[in-house]
Amino acid sequence: MTREEPEPEFPGHAPDSLYATPRGTGQFRFDAEVADVFQDMVERSVPGYASLIHGIAVLGGKYAQAGATCYDLGCSLGTAARALSARMGPEHPVLAIDSSPDMIAHCTRVPHSSVQYRCADIREVALETADVVVLNLTLQFLPPEDRLPLLRRIAEALRPGGALILTEKVRFDDPGEALMQKRYESFKRAQGYSELEISQKRTALEQVLVRDSSAAHRERLAAAGFDSITPWFQCLHFTSLLAIRRNAKPA
Ligand code: GEK
């Protein structure tokens, strides 16, 4: 007897079996087939994802002044943007931006009064004055040379005292890295992913998701104009930093 899959309730919530059969060597892309299963994929691939989203909403809500704009950059299905908006209330507009038309198409099929979705490259989009910017697992997908320029533009856009919440999958130095990789694979197995799924996804992401160390993130954030750079979440490789825009403009 085959298991009957439940009908997905929202766009992007179909079960993730993309890597369950051999797929060749193509690189990972945020295309239609990924967008269709993204919620299941991210929840089963990022340990503590639900806690991250809850924490982003609670922390972000503390830094938003009435009427201030908040950004969710690389919003995928808009989960963080909607959580932030639900926490802050309708007087705080949230702009949720992603370069994948397939992700944004899913977001706009479930309209939300205080979240505006936009399909754009966050390296090119002009940022308005903001109180809160969320980069939840997005910076790691930009070419390394584009990371500091984006963080500088975010610091410029944030009001002094405004907050950037930056979540990344970080790289440890060995032997911690090898141990974390093993434990991460245990986590994925426990989420029901097979050895084939784990190894094919890892290969597909190799050239696309380029990790930095925690120290490199801190140095870059300081160079971009942030201080009080504090880790508030850590689970295996996944770290989230709360970084506050310095009062004085960066030199
Ligand atoms: C979440 N934040 O669920 N411009 C805009 N978007 C981009 C760019 C770019 N240059 N590069 C990549 N993206 C989400 C999860 S997923 C992380 C973020 C993951 C987008 C890309 O299209 C994808 O939707 C997102 O960044 C990364 O809270 O899949 O591990």
Say yes or no to pLDDT of 223 above 80: yes
Question: Which two structure tokens, joined as six digits, stand for 13?
Answer: 């919530």
- Ligand 1 centroid – CA 194 distance (Å): 24
HSE-up of residue 94 (Cα within 13 Å, Cβ side): 30
Strand partners, 130: 69, 158
Q: Tens digits of per-residue pLDDT, 5-49? A: 544 567 889 999 999 999 877 899 999 999 999 999 999 999 999
Token readout for 24 is 């060749």
pLDDT, one tens digit per residue, over 103-152 is: 999 999 887 779 999 999 999 999 999 999 999 999 999 999 999 999 99
Residue 7: its pLDDT value, please?
46
pLDDT of residue 2: 45
Pairing of strands 158-169, 130-136: parallel
Beta strand 115-119 with 94-98: parallel, antiparallel or unpaired? Answer: parallel
CA distance 173 to 108: 41
pLDDT tens per residue across span 171-219: 998 888 999 999 999 999 999 999 999 999 999 999 899 999 999 999 9
Q: Given this model, what pLDDT does residue 248 score? A: 61
* pTM exceeds 0.85 for this model: yes
Ligand 1, residue 77: give the atom nearest the CA. 3
> What number of other Cβ atoms are within 10 A of residue 248's Cβ?
8
Residue type, 124: E
Greatest distance between any 2 Cα atoms in the chain:
66
123 lines ligand 1 (CB under 6 A): yes
For ligand 1, whether the C-beta of 74 sits within 6 Å is: yes
The residue whose C-alpha atom lies closest to atom 20 belonging to ligand 1 is 74
- Within 10 angstroms of residue 133's Cβ, the number of other Cβ atoms is 28
| Closest protein CA for atom 12 of ligand 1 | 141
pLDDT at 23: 87
CB 86 within 8 A of CB 19: no
pLDDT of residue 5: 52
Cα separation, 9 vs 17, in Å, equals 17
| The pLDDT of residue 52 | 98
| Distance separating alpha carbons of residues 251 and 248, to the nearest angstrom | 9
pLDDT in tens, 65-97: 878 899 999 999 999 999 999 999 888 899 999
Q: Determine the residue of 138, 184, 202, 206 to mutate for testing ligand 1's pocket, defined as the one with the most ligand atoms within 8 A of the Cβ atom.
A: 138
Does 138 sit in the ligand 1 pocket, CB within 6 Å?
yes
